[in-house]
Amino acid sequence: MATPTRLALAATLALLLGACSFGGGQPLSPGLTQPMNQPGAQLNRVEALFLLNDYRRAQGAADLRGDTVLDSTAQTLATNYAKSGAQPTLPPGAVAMRLSAGYTTFAEVFSGWRGVPADAAALASPGATRAGLGVAYDPNSSLGVYWVLVLDD
């Protein structure tokens, strides 16, 4: 359930992310701000990867390629994470994995990852060339939405 504090935090994060230079100062697209805590919500992985690659370029890292196998892996991990509440472990051979729970949009989760030094460093990992992203919603969970980003070489 969204509390006033959580809603204020989400609004602040969205404003801060919107003020960033990503996308040339353009407003965030609906694909990045669509809440994932609704039935039938679909993550726009292309737009999410575009935002991630903008960040990587700003950090001096090469772009990532979307990978359907990694997307499937990340989606399975996110679904299991949502069902069990137990954080998944790094898949064999993966360069990095980022987890989050409770944020309803990719813009929010991405802003959260950028704000944590260890997560920000992983997002710009020079050894990563491919990415997979998964998100799962469990209305019976206290956190609701669960995110998994898997980076591989």
The SS3 assignment for 67 reads coil
Task: Give me the long-range contacts of 43-50 (CB less than 8 A, separation at least 24).
Answer: 43/106, 43/133, 43/135, 44/106, 45/71, 45/133, 47/106, 48/106, 48/110, 48/133, 49/131, 49/133, 50/23
Structural domain range at position 82: 4-152
Residue type, 13: L
Q: What is the CATH number of the domain that holds 25?
A: 3.40.33.10
Helix 106-114 vs helix 45-58: crossing angle, to nearest 10: 20
Please state the separation of Cα 62 from the chain's center in Å: 18
| pLDDT at residue 36, as a whole number | 85
- Identify the H or E element spanning 66: strand 65-66
Local confidence pLDDT in tens for the 153 residues of the chain: 444 434 333 433 343 344 344 444 556 676 778 888 987 788 889 999 999 999 999 999 999 999 999 999 999 999 999 999 999 999 999 999 999 999 999 999 999 999 999 999 999 999 999 999 999 999 998 899 999 999 999
Whether residue 87 contacts residue 81, with contact meaning beta carbons closer than 8 Å, is answered with yes
Q: What is the model's pTM?
A: 0.80
How many domains does one find in the chain?
Answer: 1
| pLDDT at residue 71, as a whole number | 96
